[in-house]
Structure 1
Amino acid sequence: MNYSPCTYQFSGVTTRVAGYSKIPPKILEQIFSIRKLAFIDRKKWDIESYQGSDYEWDEYDDLDATYIYTHQNDQVTGCVRLRPSSKPTLMSGPLSFILPAEETRAHLQHCWEATRFALSSDDFATGELTQANVDIRTAALFLSMIKFAQQQNVRTYEIVVDTMMEKILKRSGWTVDRRNIALGSKGEKIIYGTLPCTLLTYEEVLKKNAIHKATVYHQPLITCRSSDSLDKPQVIPQTLPNRNIPAKISMHTVLQL
């Protein structure tokens, strides 16, 4: 990726934006652990690529992935994964069943996929709500996503959400443009849609959540790995499945953001 990692602060919540190769292994472990707790333990999702470890990750966690995560000191408290829609994605793989006709899909050149949105529910969770009655970490992640999109000339994000997440987005000031509807694995309604990444949208999310400004740090608050290892895949010091997981089986799994 052609950008440098950066850190934001929104109303005291710190978010970090970094590519896969520039995230320290211990931070990546925490991201995958939060996802496992959120999707496997709490939501009971049937994710084909999950093979029983303490982490939830798949073949799309690779050098094409970018992560935005909230943290307190060295503890990750929330995360979301971003990928260019022109690359292999969940939308072109396991979630392709929900895509509408090609002519109604966002132009891939200026569109990214946003998936695996999760918050921790441990002692590090702030529990603070914004004026829009949204977790402050959620609002901070949304705002960071829009800031990143503007820097990278990304006009829209592709998402698949359930109705609850759609309501949270709307309450936050970021309305989903519905493109298609299908049923998830439990018979629930899931929505494929896009999110605009305009300055107007950014200002609306700030206003709705009563967040007045962001502080930007281009120097990392969390030390990244040395440059000689930036292009190497991460090695997590716990048993994980092989990185080259075939995950092209169509599975009706509800994925939030």
Structure 2
Amino acid sequence: MRLIAVTPDFHEQHSGLLKEMHCLRAKVFGSRLGWEVTTTDDGERDEYDDLHPTYILATKSGTVCGCARLLPATGPTMLQDTFPQLLGEGRLAAHAGMIESSRFCVDTSLEAGREGGHLHLVTLSMFAGIIEWSMANGYSEIVTATDLRFERILKRAGWPMTRLGEPTAIGNTMAIAGSLPADAASLERVRPAGYRSAFSGNGVTPARNAA
């Protein structure tokens, strides 16, 4: 398994992988979880995909098996602009060292194995990739809107989330907003054996101002 970061300048070059990513999101969010998302033959996408995000992708044998979308918290974000009700004060105290992770999903049907018989290796690798990329680009805090099930997964992985508000029902989901540290200690706890990224090299070297 390999982790790559696709920055805006390379969206077109990696359009095939991004197409797979959107289809995976449709499969997970639309079909498996039953979230209220917009899906087409091209997969699932929303207005935040138009804001030139960086995508963290987990690939195995050239197939996308995990993904997440990263956007600077100082700009438009899903948490602030779509789900402000999840924030205790109704607004996000964004700063230059904060980035938002959204649309995190993993294809757990692939035979990627489970770490210690519990958490899927793709999940742990994605956690490590998000932390590693964030640290490399000067971010120290990651915020996200997720659900209570995923909050428990983060805790089991050794990367507990600090809540930014109380759980709130959104559709068929009990949603929660939280903050996660992007630091060496967190990376060491979540990184599975054999983890490797490709955050250096043509097409995947990230630049802070291209997030």
TM-score of Structure 1 vs Structure 2, range by shorter chain:
0.7 to 0.9
Map 1:31-42; keep pairs closer than 5 Å. 31-42=21-32
Distance in structure 1 (CA, Å) of the matches to 2:198 and 2:62:
18
Say if 2:122 is the partner of 1:137.
Answer: yes
Letter in 2 for 1:66: T
Residue 193 of structure 1 is matched in structure 2 by: 178
Q: Does 1:166 align with 2:148?
A: no
Residue 155 of structure 1 is aligned with which of 129, 140, 146? 140
Cross-structure match for 1:15: 3
Find the aligned partners of 1:17 and 1:147 in 2 and give their Cα distance: 10
Q: CA deviation at 1:51?
A: 5.3
State whether residues 108 and 120 of structure 2, in contact with CA within 8 Å, keep that contact through their aligned partners in structure 1: no
Q: Deviations over 1:97-129 (max 9, x none)?
A: 2122278x444211111010111255xx12400
Q: Against the structure 1 CA distance between its residues 110 and 102, is the aligned structure 2 distance closer, same or farther, given a 3 Å change threshold?
A: farther
Q: Residue 205 of structure 1 aligns with which residue?
A: 190
CA distance in 1, matches of 2:123, 2:179: 18
What residue in structure 1 maps to residue 166 of structure 2? Answer: 181
Partner of 1:219: 201
| Residue of structure 2 equivalent to 1:113 | 100
Q: Which amino acid aligns with 1:69?
A: L
Relative to its length, the structure with more helix (as a share) is: 2
What does the per-residue CA deviation read over 1:218-250, in whole Å, with 9 as the maximum and x for residues that have no partner? 225xx78xxxxxx9xxxxxxxxxxxxxxxxxxx
Using the size of structure 2 for normalisation, the TM-score is 0.85
Q: Aligned equivalents of 1:85 and 1:129: distance in 2? A: 32
Counterparts in 2 of 1:213 and 1:118: CA distance versus 1, 3 Å: closer
Matches of 1:215 and 1:119, distance apart in 2 = 17
Cα separation, 1, equivalents of 2:159 and 2:126:
12
Structure 1, unmatched stretches of 5+, are 1-12, 225-230, 232-257
- Contact kept in structure 2, 1:132 and 1:171, CA below 8 Å: no
- Deviation at residue 16 of structure 1 after TM alignment: 0.7
The CA distance in 1 between the partners of 2:196 and 2:59, in whole Å, is 16
State the 1:212 CA deviation.
6.6
Identity of aligned residues (%): 23
Corresponding position of 1:248? none
* Deviation, structure 1 residue 54: 4.0
SS of structure 2 residue aligned to 1:143: helix
Q: Could you tell me which of 41, 45, 59 is aligned with 2:35? A: 45
Q: Cα RMSD over matched residues? A: 2.4
For 1:118, the aligned partner's letter is C
- Contact 2:3 2:198 survives alignment (8 Å): no
Larger Rg: 1
CA shift for structure 1 position 186 = 4.0
**Secondary structure of the residue that 2:118 maps to in structure 1?**
coil
Structure 2 Cα separation of the partners of residues 95 and 160 of structure 1: 8
Report the CA distance between 1:93 and its aligned residue: 1.7
Instruction: Name structure 2 gaps, 5 residues minimum.
Output: 205-209
Q: Is the 8 A contact 2:4 2:197 kept in 1?
A: no
Give the whole-Å Cα distance in 1 for the aligned partners of 2:59 and 2:39.
27
Deviation at 1:181, TM superposition (A): 1.6
In the alignment of these two chains, the number of paired residues is 203
2:207 corresponding residue in structure 1? none
Distance 1:212 1:16, change over 3 A: closer
CA contact (8 A) 1:146 1:197 kept: yes
Output the CA distance in 2 between the equivalents of 1:69 and 1:202. 17
What is the rounded CA distance, in whole Å, between the counterparts of 2:171 and 2:79 in structure 1?
Answer: 19
